[in-house]
Chain A
Amino acid sequence: MDFGFIRESIPLYVDAALLTARIALIGILLSGMIGFICCIIRVMRIPVLRQAAAAYIELSRNTPLLVQLFFLYFGLPRVGIVLSSEACAVIGLAFLGGSYMAEAFRSGMDAVSKVQIESGLSLGMKPMQVFFHIMLPQAVTTSIPVFCANIIFLIKETSVFSAVALADLVFVAKDLIGISYRTDEALLMLVIAYLILLLPISIICSLIERRVRYAEFGNAGVVSGH
């Protein structure tokens, strides 16, 4: 191990980690939005859009991100649509993540009992009000563990961005291996960088999960008590 080399390469990794984090953040926010829109379309049973959303979800869940990125980055310019590698990365991540988030919302929505919806409607609430005030809060709480898993999954998926010439962590590590042949140091730094990026998120997620499960048990008790 050459610690001097490691110290010298830290700034490179920090830059790359920031880039990864930035793209992951934008991608995750966009995926959340896409997932939410798909969820509204599904719950409100909007005719044509519903089929389109279902097709999109199947298409994006059954293809690898790397192939999606290659299509965006190398394929589309051939028909006149040129995207920068950052734009490709964000679009790819949002395209992939949107369907995962949509499924998370869906499982939460399915878990809301019918009685809740009917009670809301019979109290004179509009469908939109029932959706926003009754269904959504419950759905989001039940799906929090799934959201957490998706966030970790999407951050991990950012590791393939090096393939579309984005200078992310893997790109830097590969570069350093190529330039200096210091495989160990470069790989060690890569592992540490991902640990620093993901370990806190993973820990926070397990804490939230435990908290939510705790609430769930309380609710179950109340329901069965009646």
Chain B
Amino acid sequence: MQSLGMQVLFQGTNFLRLLQGLWVSLKIAVISMALSILLGIFLGIIMNSKKKWVKALCRIYLEIVRIMPQLVLLFLVYFGASKHLGMNLSGELSAVIVFTFWGTAEMGDLVRSALISIPKHQYESGYALGMTERQVFLRIIIPQTIRRLIPSIMNLLTRMIKTTSLVVLIGVVEVVKVGKQIIDASRFTTPSAAFWVYGMIFFLYFAVCFPFSKAAAILERKLRD
């Protein structure tokens, strides 16, 4: 009977539907990641500012993100916004807002530490060659920072993808939800469907995240040498 249970994955369009569900999760992750990178670079530069109140503000923002579970933030936006702003945010949009809010903080912190790690003589050599502050930043500092950031960005992306699994709890139809539908539909024909479907989803997430985290590890090793 075990071999029969596995067939539920490939009955009809089931497998295709699972992949489509996964695509919804990935889309949310990629859009939030792109926004986080853009906003995070700004935040990272701002965080190195010498003004006390800017530092304090950034610190509070980071601390909020560090402490609040992403699920709680999702609930706040999804349930809170519909009540107070009178807007009916879709689950997807709330997810993008929350993940961008979270990702920007993480990204900002990464950019900040990468900027600090650039040795001072890099700036000074630039100035000594008569470059303006803008030129030094755009041509010397930013390219080096980005090189150092790539492994961390990839790690953050895998975390983002993993966290998108939470959006099923605010009603987005993504891979876990599709899995539930398949399980419910085949409850009587294949009782062991839950085992295979959740096992498959587990494997799918692994198949998506593993290449990124492996690549990040390899790049990190390369950078160190």
Contacts and interface: CB of A to CB of B under 8 A. Distances in A.
Contacts of B193: 78
A64 B80 contact: no
Contacts of A191: 68, 72, 76
Interface in B158-202: 158, 162-166, 168-169, 176, 179, 183, 191-199, 201-202
A62 B157 CA distance: 11
A138 interface: no
Contacts of A190: 72, 75
A223 B170 CA distance: 54
Contact of B202 (A67, A156, A177): A67
B139 interface: no
Interface stretch (B9-17, B127-135, B206-214): B206-214
Interface residues of A, number: 40
Contacts of A195: 67
Tell me if B's interface is mostly helix, strand, loop or mixed: helix
Contacts of A74: 183, 194, 198
B205 interface: yes
A75 B199 contact: yes
Contacts of A9: none
Interface stretch (A25-33, A41-49, A157-165): A157-165
Contacts of B176: 66-67, 70
B63 interface: yes
Interface residues of B, number: 42
**Which of A58, A64, A68 has the most B CB atoms < 10 Å from its CB?**
A64
B68 A184 contact: no
Given A64-B205, A163-B169, A184-B83, A194 B68 contact: yes
Given A62-B205, A67-B198, A67-B205, A159 B79 contact: no
Nearest to B71: A159
B206 A59 contact: yes
A166 to B, nearest CB: 13
Interface of A: 58-59, 61-68, 70-71, 74-79, 152, 156-160, 162-163, 170, 173-174, 177, 183-184, 187, 190-191, 194-195, 198-199, 202
Interface of B: 2, 5, 63, 66-72, 75-76, 79-80, 83, 158, 162-166, 168-169, 176, 179, 183, 191-199, 201-202, 205-206, 209-210, 213
25 contacts: A59-B206, A62-B213, A63-B162, A64-B165, A66-B168, A67-B198, A70-B201, A71-B195, A71-B201, A74-B183, A74-B194, A75-B194, A77-B194, A78-B191, A79-B192, A152-B66, A152-B67, A157-B69, A158-B69, A170-B75, A173-B75, A174-B75, A183-B79, A183-B80, A190-B75
Given A59-B206, A170-B69, A183-B79, 17 more contacts: A62-B213, A63-B162, A63-B205, A67-B165, A67-B205, A70-B201, A74-B183, A74-B194, A74-B198, A75-B197, A78-B194, A159-B69, A163-B169, A183-B80, A199-B67, A202-B63, A202-B66
